[in-house]
Amino acid sequence: MKTKVLLLIAFAATAALAEDITLKWVPSGISPKTGYYKPVRAELSKDKPAFVTRVPEGVASPAFATLLLGPKDKPATVTLLIDDRDDGPSKLWLDSNANGDLTDDPPTNWSSRKSASTTTWSGAGQVTIDYGAEKRTLGLNIYRFDKNDPNRKSLASTVLYYRDYGLSGDVMIGDKSFKALLSDDTSRGDFTGNDGDAVA
């Protein structure tokens, strides 16, 4: 990871020298290319947010989280819902169109991995956000540790997620072309480094 960070710093330092930078939006698949991720914590609550208008039927034990995604000046409020039941498999919903309705979105991937005494859930989903006149789709990888795991009590009411989107393309420096990635390690869909967080 240190090598990748140094390469990103070197890219930032030489970007001013670049004669041509061509980066295109990639909605998913960036995480494996970077080789690392920085998870973001979102607290779960049993209380339905006021802006959520509809939830799926049959949710036995709802746990909601709120994500702010998109440009800094106009982020979208996105709801994540987990059916946190003990008597059956957990399920995940993501408000992919950020309209407050959790019943009109594509299904998410959400699967379990069991060890001797705990179960970890992981999956992925996508959210489409307005960036001015343009729309961009942001892929997110999502996971949750077993809420009953005694070794992870601090994460009992937490879901974690990280970016799978970004910008990819080429940078010309002199007569040489270099492959480049722009990664949003804040997982906010905003590449300006808001709130003092570094964006690699």
Angle at 119 between CA 121 and CA 157, to 5 degrees: 65
8 A C-beta contact, residue 162 and residue 39: yes
Based on the number of CB atoms within 10 Å of its own CB, is 126 exposed (0-12), middle (13-18) or buried (19 or more)? middle
Tens digit of each residue's pLDDT (9 = 90 or more) over 166-186: 999 988 888 888 888 899 999
pLDDT band at 19 (very low <50, low <70, confident <90, very high): low
Tens digit of each residue's pLDDT (9 = 90 or more) over 55-89: 999 999 999 999 999 998 899 999 999 998 887 88
Tens digit of each residue's pLDDT (9 = 90 or more) over 83-121: 988 878 899 999 999 999 999 999 999 999 998 889 999
pTM summary value: 0.84
What mean pLDDT, rounded, does the chain reach? 87
